[in-house]
Structure 1
Amino acid sequence: MFELKNKQKALSLTSPLVMGIINVTPDSFSDGGRFSQFEKACQQADKLIKEGAKLIDVGGESTRPGADEVSLQEELARVIPLIEYVQNKHQDIWISIDTSKPEVMEQAIMAGADMINDVRALQMPNALEVAARLQVPVCLMHMQGEPKNMQASPKYQDVIQDVKAFFEARGQACLKAGIKRENILIDPGFGFGKSLGHNFELLGRLSEFHVLGFPLLIGLSRKSMFGHLLDRDVSERLSASLAGNLLAAQAGAHILRVHDVLETQDVLSVLNESQQFKFVNN
């Protein structure tokens, strides 16, 4: 059984939990600009928590394909006020800081964030050392390349084995730096340096990552893999996102990172209710 812990609180991962996304950015792929104003971001946080999110993921720098980097001060100005708001108003909710910058990690945790969600898997200079010193849970995501070029021409010998090898290496680096094993989560990084085929192979073989012994955080919400498969705009991908999240939950995902919290909670409620019963073939 997995459990997230920090100094103040604990969160059981015995059944899948929903993490609500708040991008405090003008250029995120799905909701860029909608919550860049502080008041709207606070309202969205309240809404997602009311709908059932147990975690809120706050990001101040877009990582969509082709995205430009933002300065340290700009990222801090975007995320710290919202973290402080959620921490003060919803003290039982876990707050995740979506960043690769060690300075943002440190200041976010000081402001009340509970965990780090890093698309670069703590590979920025000094990120490992800062995360080890903070002693909070960290999610390591796999990405081939950088947001600027990651979708140019992704190639793998075997996407499952290559991503697993990456997590084995990064897990060992974390342990060597002093991060506790129970504080490590992994995210295979759907849409981050993967073709359509890579993404759906990852989804279809997701259960193979359990051998690594880390909780799985999955981000499928409104991803371009659904748009390419179904020829749907980002605003028309809810049903596909729900289907993907249901498959991920059935494969043993522990945290589902989503924009649409209420609808995903409904899916999980149906799944959890059905799993109480066993069907026997006579």
Structure 2
Amino acid sequence: MTTLINCRGKLIDLAQPRVMGILNITPDSFFERSRVHTEEEILKQAEKMLSSGATFLDLGGHSTRPGAMPVSEEEEIKRVLPATEVILKHFPEALISIDTFRSNVAKACVEAGAVIVNDVSGGLLDDKMYETVASFGDVPYILMHMRGTIETMTQLTHYNNLVLDVLDDLQQKVAKLRAFNQRDIILDLGFGFAKNLDQNYELLNHLADFEVMNLPMLVGVSRKSMIWRKLDILASEALNGTTALNAVALMKGANILRVHDVKEAIETIRLVEAVNAK
């Protein structure tokens, strides 16, 4: 598997599993404690995640939870661009991922120093995204599987064969990205996006099947409804469940864990590595 990615000149080997910490510059993301608004809050959370071992910080200015209110492109840029700039001012070695489905937002943040584009729509919501990201030359693209839009995805959960349909969709999109000469691509199966509760677990169980694509994989299940609905708890109580599923994901080949709780994810990686070493 290709595990080395080029983040604007900095080479990161994903053969060593990495952690991506989530910073939501939004008022309505589903997990309240992940929301940061002021410069002080952003820097405090960034410092905590980096000191806990996060390799990447994922900044998002548009909530993608089901039922989230749409945010204009201008407002999204207003949220994430200053956050990108202030983090890099204080932590110049930080590797920032911009979580957006809009090419103009991605462009603005990459020009400000972000090194990864994380697109939950997999290019569905902006037909200029592939071309824009590929034009940077050395910015990895996280390709997530989704259907429809943020507003409609919960109704689009019928698959003839879940694993094969998701695999086929991702393969077609990788081919389109390669046509634009996109170099580094990271796969995300899109847990919680156009999948019902049981489908999320089916995909996680078959995560290793996607190694056939020879691309690194990001898994983002942190505190999602697939955990708290299954356990009949709140998102604020879903850390233990997140840790359990992150361990499963690592055992099945995950290269990046996208999480709200960095310290616990780092500990999970260390323990799974200890098991695999024996």
For residue 79 of structure 1, what is the aligned residue in structure 2? 80
**Residue 148 of structure 1, aligned match among 142, 148, 151:** 151
SS of the equivalent of 2:154 reads coil
For residue 100 of structure 2, what is the aligned residue in structure 1? 99
Instruction: Show CA shifts across 1:208-254 (max 9, x none).
Output: 00001111011000010111211011101111100110000111101
- What is the identity percentage for the equivalent residue pairs of Structure 1 and Structure 2? 37
**Aligned mates of 2:39, 2:214 — CA distance in 1:** 38
**Aligned mates of 1:86, 1:9 — CA distance in 2:** 18
User: Residue type matched to 2:35 in 1?
Assistant: R
SS of the equivalent of 2:79 reads helix
List runs of 5+ in structure 2 lacking aligned partners: none
Instruction: Show CA shifts across 1:177-235 (max 9, x none).
Output: 2212xx11110000001011110000111100000111101100001011121101110
**Aligned mates of 1:6, 1:223 — CA distance in 2:** 28
Contact 1:119 1:140 (8 Å CA) reproduced: yes
Count of residues in correspondence between the two structures: 275
**Residue 171 of structure 1, aligned match among 151, 174, 190:** 174
Task: Map 1:162-241 to 2 at 5 A.
Answer: 162-180=165-183, 183-241=184-242
- Higher mean alpha-carbon deviation, 268-277 vs 158-167, is at 268-277
Deviation at 1:86, TM superposition (A): 2.2
SS of the equivalent of 1:105 reads helix
For residue 264 of structure 1, what is the aligned residue in structure 2? 265
User: Residue type matched to 1:133 in 2?
Assistant: S
Contact 2:64 2:150 (8 Å CA) reproduced: yes
**Aligned mates of 1:243, 1:226 — CA distance in 2:** 10
Deviation at 1:92, TM superposition (A): 2.9
Instruction: Show CA shifts across 1:127-155 (max 9, x none).
Output: 11111111210001011221112113511
Contact 1:150 1:192 (8 Å CA) reproduced: yes
**Aligned mates of 1:67, 1:32 — CA distance in 2:** 17
**Aligned mates of 2:34, 2:275 — CA distance in 1:** 39
Deviation at 1:84, TM superposition (A): 1.4
Deviation at 1:33, TM superposition (A): 7.7
For residue 44 of structure 2, what is the aligned residue in structure 1? 43
With normalisation by structure 1, the TM-score equals 0.94
**Aligned mates of 2:52, 2:150 — CA distance in 1:** 31
Contact 2:29 2:63 (8 Å CA) reproduced: yes
**Aligned mates of 2:180, 2:140 — CA distance in 1:** 14
Contact 2:5 2:14 (8 Å CA) reproduced: yes
Deviation at 1:88, TM superposition (A): 2.7
**Aligned mates of 1:167, 1:32 — CA distance in 2:** 32
Instruction: Show CA shifts across 1:53-100 (max 9, x none).
Output: 010000000000111221111111111111112223323331100001
List runs of 5+ in structure 1 lacking aligned partners: 278-282
Contact 1:26 1:33 (8 Å CA) reproduced: no
For residue 280 of structure 1, what is the aligned residue in structure 2? none
**Aligned mates of 2:131, 2:84 — CA distance in 1:** 22
Q: Does 1:134 align with 2:136?
A: yes
Contact 1:25 1:33 (8 Å CA) reproduced: no
**Residue 163 of structure 2, aligned match among 152, 160, 163:** 160
- Higher mean alpha-carbon deviation, 264-273 vs 195-204, is at 264-273
SS of the equivalent of 2:22 reads strand
Contact 1:246 1:268 (8 Å CA) reproduced: yes
SS of the equivalent of 1:189 reads coil
SS of the equivalent of 2:62 reads coil
**Aligned mates of 1:268, 1:97 — CA distance in 2:** 24
For residue 125 of structure 1, what is the aligned residue in structure 2? 127
Contact 1:27 1:33 (8 Å CA) reproduced: no
For residue 110 of structure 2, what is the aligned residue in structure 1? 109
